[in-house]
Structure 1
């Protein structure tokens, strides 16, 4: 494949000539890091083999698109072409522009030691190696196959960072680093990340279930201070095994059938996960909600909210209407929590999540504050 012009075009799209990241993107053969991937369809995920058609492979690899590489424990490398797999994505090669955004927030100046958390395909580690040099880059993933495959692909590309298999949410990190940039999201910053961060070092991560990028610099007392950036990003949640816990399908059946407490909301159904401020604020307030949306046969918009504690909500906006009929059950009224966030959004024109000040204690307690609002994870 004549990939260099395509990589240069991708670099021009996600960076700009003269930036610190134009040359790394232009110099990295992304297609070598994503040889097989999955595409979504009505019945599940179908495996695609890039080598079957070079033009398809090149178009996918050098577009600013996330390519899903693993569904549950099943990697595309181990799946027959055309075979449909069901489940949730557990690894991908993320949008190159988002990878660059996270690395840019890391302020990777020459000489800093970087820990790239969540190796995935190895593409982010490759960009970092071009920027810093192999000897200053360590990349880590919980999945043994991902680290093995990414290590091989990095070596084939002439890059030799340290590749480590470990669970970054429970285990000590492998050394001391000046920068930690996480390509997975966490409920709050693990204490061992701050332990591994050198004094004055910088941490970049996203918070699970939100669109929030947190950047923080380590203080002398072992804490860290920073902010929520105005950019938005969402990554897969960090996991400790080959798959995520099962979705709340049984509770979804309950939420679809039961009447529960019934009320009428003056606000129409909202696709919460597409309203990033609302989604992020709600998650900080009530972590762990699973959102589902759909359209009824008559065109009505529907949404469901499910929580592992057994709480559920269902809302429906009839076609042509602006109100919603809401059903709720379980120990908490999830839709009421959503309504509080939405009314605050309407009344103030914004929510305080983006731009918030962030403080992280040495034990990982993470606090957000802005304009009189605060919350601690």
Structure 2
């Protein structure tokens, strides 16, 4: 495979010639780090073997796209060809432009020690090694197989960072000038503050949102920063082999009538409305969203929560309102409508651009224009 030409084309998509990340993207053979991946199908996920079709391998590896490499507890390397795997994606090789963006938010430079959280395929670690040098990069993943496979493939292309298998929320394997996470966190772990050097900088996304949080360590041991105007979403951090099962029992309960009401707004796919989705997740973390259509072409949406709360909404064809059924301890759709009204009244929501204050014990507060939220 003449991968150099493909990598140069990827660099043109993921960065620009004056960026310090241009050379790393151009010089790294991403295909070596992702020899197998999953593609979705009607009955689940199917593994694709790159070496079996070099053309398809090059097209996938050097596209600016995310390649799912693990579904549930099954890694693509271990999947049986021709058999479908069901479950949620649990690891991936993130689209290169987003990896570059997160590293740029980290403000990396020579002499800075980096902790790359969530090794995955090893691509972010490879980019960092190219820029900083192997001895300045530590990469961490909760999955022992991922760590081992990434370390072997990184060595194959000439990079030897310190590869660690550990829980990202536990004590960190050292002190670092930069912590950049390629997995989302529900809050900033206290261990990150302890493992961040004076004047160090951390970058992560917040679980269940499209928010990128950047913060610099403060003299009191906490950190201050902001929610960037940029946006991104990553898989949530996990401590086990898989995520908890989806809320099928709550979904079944949502078939009941519950409390019936009318929303003045039509059904929408909340997770495609990044500001709405992010603010809703800050108000009620853990909501699972589902969408669909009925036999009459009506748009359907469900909101499900681990506490047993649920909402089911339908907008009939040609209508601009929604009939809403809700049950459980909270009225999730009322929260959504409250946010939508605020969006109309103010022309924006306060989540992007919010100031961030992290106390030494990890309490993280977002604030903007009189609005505050604590993770």
**TM, length-normalised to structure 2:** 0.99
Do structure 1's residue 354 and structure 2's residue 362 form an aligned pair? Answer: no
Per the alignment, residue 335 of structure 1 pairs with 333
Task: Output one character per residue of 1:349-368: Cα deviation in whole Å (capped at 9) or x when no partner.
Answer: 11000000001111111000
Cα separation, 1, equivalents of 2:126 and 2:297: 46
Cα separation, 1, equivalents of 2:240 and 2:327: 31
Per the alignment, residue 217 of structure 2 pairs with 218
In structure 1, the residue corresponding to 2:192 is in which secondary structure? helix
Do structure 1's residue 24 and structure 2's residue 24 form an aligned pair? Answer: yes
Per the alignment, residue 117 of structure 1 pairs with 117
Per the alignment, residue 197 of structure 1 pairs with 196
Deviation at 1:18? 2.1
Per the alignment, residue 241 of structure 2 pairs with 242
Per the alignment, residue 136 of structure 2 pairs with 136
Alignment of 1:89-128 (within 5 A): 89-128=89-128
In structure 2, the residue corresponding to 1:186 is in which secondary structure? coil
In structure 2, the residue corresponding to 1:321 is in which secondary structure? coil
Cα separation, 2, equivalents of 1:194 and 1:234: 22
Deviation at 1:148? 0.4
Cα separation, 2, equivalents of 1:105 and 1:272: 26
Per the alignment, residue 175 of structure 2 pairs with 176
Do structure 1's residue 324 and structure 2's residue 322 form an aligned pair? Answer: yes
Structure 2 residues without counterparts, runs of 5 or longer: none
Deviation at 1:107? 0.4
Do structure 1's residue 370 and structure 2's residue 335 form an aligned pair? Answer: no
Moved more, 12-21 or 107-116: 12-21
How many equivalent pairs are there?
375
Cα separation, 2, equivalents of 1:141 and 1:150: 10
Cα separation, 1, equivalents of 2:35 and 2:252: 38
Contact preservation (8 Å) 1:212, 1:280: yes
Deviation at 1:299? 1.2
The alignment yields a C-alpha RMSD, in angstroms, of 0.6
Deviation at 1:206? 0.4
**TM, length-normalised to structure 1:** 0.99
Deviation at 1:218? 0.2
In structure 2, the residue corresponding to 1:204 is in which secondary structure? strand
In structure 2, the residue corresponding to 1:346 is in which secondary structure? helix
Task: Output one character per residue of 1:129-168: Cα deviation in whole Å (capped at 9) or x when no partner.
Answer: 0010000000000000000000000000100000000001
Cα separation, 1, equivalents of 2:340 and 2:161: 45
Moved more, 43-52 or 90-99: 43-52
Contact preservation (8 Å) 1:48, 1:82: no
Cα separation, 1, equivalents of 2:361 and 2:23: 38
Alignment of 1:57-96 (within 5 A): 57-96=57-96
In structure 1, the residue corresponding to 2:138 is in which secondary structure? strand
Cα separation, 1, equivalents of 2:295 and 2:141: 43
Per the alignment, residue 310 of structure 1 pairs with 308
Contact preservation (8 Å) 1:113, 1:137: yes
Deviation at 1:57? 0.3
